[in-house]
Chains A and B, each alone.
Chain A
Amino acid sequence: MTRYVIRRIAQAVGVLLAAYTLSFFILVLLPGDPVSAMAGAGMDSAPVDPARIEALRHEYGFDQPLPLQYAEHLGRALTGDLGDSVATGRPVASMITEALPQTLLLTATGLGLAFLFGGGLALAATYSSRRWLRQVLLSLPPLGVSVPTFWVGLMLVQFFSFRNPWFPAFGNDGLKGLVLPALTLAVPTGAQIALVLAKSLSTTLDEPYIGTARAKGAGRVHVHLRHALRNASLPALTVAGLLVGQLMANAVVIETVFSRNGLGRVTQAAVTAQDIPVVQGVVVYGALVFVVVNLLVDLVYPVLDPRIVLAPARPAGVVTA
């Protein structure tokens, strides 16, 4: 178990480093540069003296050779210093730590609702003995996956804020403001969970051991929840791990629609302004969350299904727990 955990952590560090490196070079390769971005902040500014832009570029170290810039940025990042935002001058670390809780709250609530709705839908669909009901329920997830997130958000705002003043249309204040954005986030995610869980539930329900359990006199609900769900939930859990990345991406859209302050907004502004230090910081944090969640998922596997082999290096057939 320890070796498994160590190996997974080493992998996680590798992923972080790769994410950092890739984002650095992609940003540098984009046309335009952050210094001109600062200088031409709005088109409403008068033309700026090129000499001043050069001076600024020098000040920020953007005139140095790329490998050197990379090494310097990475070196500082390793000590926890993510630098200052080029656009606002604020420390990247504090920009992120201020925005992160809001985004985590949103994504966690969204994911919770997604499990509730998605799981409930899958269970109801597979449990139902009525064919038409099953069909109707199973047609919902593909719909949920395919509608654009911003559209869902705008429709919810339209009906539950503009038309009926039940929830605020914007802002971060309190639980009420969280309802619509979290619901919006739950739609695509819940739909994916429902898709995967319904599929694996129906496969599991066809397995011989379910028949055995039934033959032994176990009730339908008991079989469904105790035997089938436990085994069928593994694929859904895997998907949930992957969905974390998607949740973060959707948060950018949702935070924009609902004018919430969060990592998504910070990212969007930073990408537009080519604010390299901020984007780097966000990528590192994003990768960190992604890696941690997937690590947790991997660690939960053996708990749910002891058959999972923890050390693939060992000869097949030797099972450890």
Chain B
Amino acid sequence: MGRKLTHAPALWLTAGVLVLAGCGSGSGANDAGGSAAPKTGGTLTFAVGSDTGCTDPQQVASNDSIYSVRQLVDSLTDQDPQTGEIVPWLAESWDISDDATTFTFHLRDGVTFSDGTALTAGVVKENFEAVPGLGVLAGLATGYLSGVEKITADDDQTLTVEFAQPNAQFLQATSTHSLGIVSEASTKLSAQERCTQGIVGSGPFTLGEYTPNQSITLKKRTGYAWGSSLWKKDGEAYLDQVVFKVLPEAGVRTGSLQSGQVDAIGNVARADESALEASGATLQARANPGVVFNLAANNENPVLKDEAVRQAISYGVDRRQIADTVFNSGTEPATSVLAHTTPGYEDLSAQLTHDAEKAKTLLEQDGWKAGADGTRTRDGKQLAFTITWFANSPTNQPALELVQQQLAGIGVTVQLKQAEISQYASVVQGGDYELVWGNVTRADPDILRTQFSTALVNPYRLPESGLDETLTEQAGTIDQGARDELVATAQETVVQNAFVVPVVELQTKLGVAKRVHDLNFEASSRIQLHDTWVE
């Protein structure tokens, strides 16, 4: 129901906006390039499309909510979006045991939460120990901490986390919003109280007001002095206030930015780009790290467990065409199962080519003969699949309709099956699909283990293979070079076997008004507002 409301209005409005943009342009006079020095003060209004009804960073998983609640908390570490390197934030330094099971963090002195209490190793310990109690809602945080054996506060500034198994991903996990640190009082609240009352953090902003489905107001934390080592400005943030407005209708978000009613918007669609640029807004884009949008095969399916069929699908898909026609401009076709912004990414574009002839030959050799109408059959059975997709992004349907067309070209019949996002777990984890369309954002290559290890949930029903060992080994390797090599091997295995067919990288695209400066992406392609200022 929700989805049906969104596409058509967007089209109508876009049409309207384009007409109006045509009439009212010609006012681009006052862009002075980089206008002088950053200014303190002011309010930034940021429009997002949805609200998940929760203001606890350890629980939220949707970008629209992460944007705001991320600003309330600090993390132990931060991750450089350029290099993927983990750098100090609340922790000044850390030691990792050679087997990647024990992590010791040396915390910064003098950090306080906005309720006045001090940050100590004990508080961090309580944070991490409370995570499993948050239950299923804190899926990301729980995943990062799974296998924790012991957490000790050696003294006020020293925290040790021990895992039963090697767990190299944990260092990057400490840089994410999911393990952002809340005050001791907040750790005592129930999962639902944390959602509705909000949490107290030590971040550069505090929670002002929250009206579900409507807005979240953040206020500057005065006296803030413990920012990430990546930030340009020392001390307090520039902005006095940030207001996140929930505007579900894409056309209204675009129009509101153009008419100056908001300063920035998330989720810019291709159709709105030119109108926004014409109105003087800048578009900022960054590919989301993690697993790219892919067609994941149910590898237990009688036909799809045949590698030749999966390979044929991979060769039959024209990734460039999909990236260029459906997604916002600048979107890259997949060149690995990981996006190029993921640390440890390996370029496998040579294998992920579009080659319809090769696809046809593969199927031909495999016994799938084309009939008069072009569709292929073997032993009287038609080569046909259902692709299940979820209505959580407006690009899903057009992308898959194009896939459907492309695969028809090699004789594979595809049916599309839409499901609500609420069915995700039951469909994918229950194995109730043939091919499924999806992606996962994570700035650490360990996401491969979560998705492809047969020892875990194994949503794609992979057979046991050497991949498991590679994935386990990278999880226990802290030497960056050695880990990158293992991660490269894992990517090669997934791509060579076409366990899933990588298609296109998800790109986060923001529309930002000219008066806004230094609205920056962090390593997971979400936003960081400490350095942001407005004219």
Contact = CB atoms under 8 A, between A and B. Distances in A.
Contacts of A84: 192
Contacts of A135: none
Contacts of A151: 9, 12
Given A41-B52, A169-B255, A265-B213, A32 B9 contact: no
A47 B429 contact: yes
Interface string A32-53: 1111111111111111111011
Contacts of B259: 161-163, 165, 169
B516 interface: no
A256 interface: yes
Given A47-B428, A154-B16, A41 B62 contact: yes
Q: How large is the interface on A (under 10, 10 to 19, 20 to 34, 35 or more residues)?
A: 35 or more
B349 interface: no
Most central of A35, A89, A171, A268 by chain B CB within 10 Å: A89
Contacts of B245: 170-171, 259
A31 B427 CA distance: 9
A273 interface: yes
A41 B2 contact: no
Interface string B368-395: 0000000000000000000000101000
A123 interface: no
Contact of B5 (A32, A171, A172, A253): A253
Chain B facing A: main interface SS: helix
A103 interface: no
Contact of B16 (A31, A155, A271): A155
A168 B252 CA distance: 11
A74 interface: no
A43 B393 CA distance: 11
A272 B256 contact: no
B422 A274 contact: yes
A31 B418 CA distance: 12
A56 interface: yes
A155, A162, A168: residue with the most chain B Cβ atoms closer than 10 Å: A162
B145 to A, nearest CB: 12
A266 interface: yes
Nearest to B257: A162
Interface in B274-329: none
A38 B192 CA distance: 13
A251 to B, nearest CB: 12
B51 to A, nearest CB: 8
B53 interface: yes
B29 interface: no
B408 interface: no
Contacts of A36: 422-426, 429
Interface stretch (B100-108, B232-240, B450-458): B450-458
Nearest to A260: B214
Interface in A249-278: 252-253, 256-259, 261, 265-266, 268-269, 271-274
A50 B426 CA distance: 9
Given A150-B8, A165-B259, A274-B420, A48 B425 contact: yes
B13 interface: yes
Nearest to A150: B9
Contact of A272 (B2, B8, B247, B451): B2
A151 B440 CA distance: 34
A56 B135 contact: yes
Nearest to B20: A163
Given A46-B139, A89-B192, A37 B16 contact: no
A272 B246 CA distance: 17
Contacts of B120: none
B256 A169 contact: yes
Interface in B430-469: 438-442, 447, 450-451, 456-457, 459
A71 B24 CA distance: 61
Contacts of B36: none
A64 interface: no
B480 interface: no
A321 to B, nearest CB: 47
Contact of B136 (A56, A153, A256, A257): A56
A96 to B, nearest CB: 12
Given A158-B255, A259-B248, A261-B213, A34 B422 contact: yes
Nearest to B436: A43
Interface string A50-90: 10110010000000000000000000000000001101111
Given A32-B422, A40-B424, A272-B2, A161 B191 contact: no
A157 B256 CA distance: 10
B419 interface: yes
Interface string B132-146: 000111011001000
B20 A32 contact: no
Contact of B1 (A43, A158, A271): A271
B213 A169 contact: no
B159 interface: no
A261 B191 contact: no
A36 B459 CA distance: 14
Contacts of B247: 170, 259
A234 B451 CA distance: 64
Interface in B202-261: 211-215, 245-249, 251-252, 255-256, 258-259, 261
A170 B252 contact: yes
B421 interface: yes
A46 B450 contact: yes
B140 A46 contact: yes
A7 B483 CA distance: 77
A172 to B, nearest CB: 7
Given A31-B419, A87-B53, A161-B255, A48 B16 contact: no
A158 B139 contact: no
A170 B423 contact: no
30 contacts: A31-B419, A32-B419, A36-B426, A38-B136, A39-B139, A41-B139, A43-B424, A44-B61, A44-B62, A45-B140, A46-B442, A46-B451, A47-B459, A48-B429, A53-B136, A89-B192, A154-B249, A161-B261, A162-B20, A163-B20, A169-B259, A256-B5, A256-B249, A258-B252, A259-B248, A259-B249, A266-B213, A268-B2, A268-B5, A271-B1
Give the top 4 A-B pairs by smallest Cβ distance, nearest first.
A89-B192, A32-B423, A37-B422, A40-B424
Given A148-B8, A158-B255, A271-B1, 18 more contacts: A33-B426, A41-B61, A42-B62, A43-B439, A44-B441, A46-B451, A89-B192, A89-B196, A90-B196, A150-B8, A154-B16, A155-B16, A158-B13, A162-B256, A259-B247, A265-B248, A272-B2, A274-B422
Interface of B: 1-2, 5, 8-9, 12-13, 16-17, 20, 24, 52-54, 61-63, 135-137, 139-140, 143, 191-192, 195-196, 211-215, 245-249, 251-252, 255-256, 258-259, 261, 390, 392, 419-429, 438-442, 447, 450-451, 456-457, 459
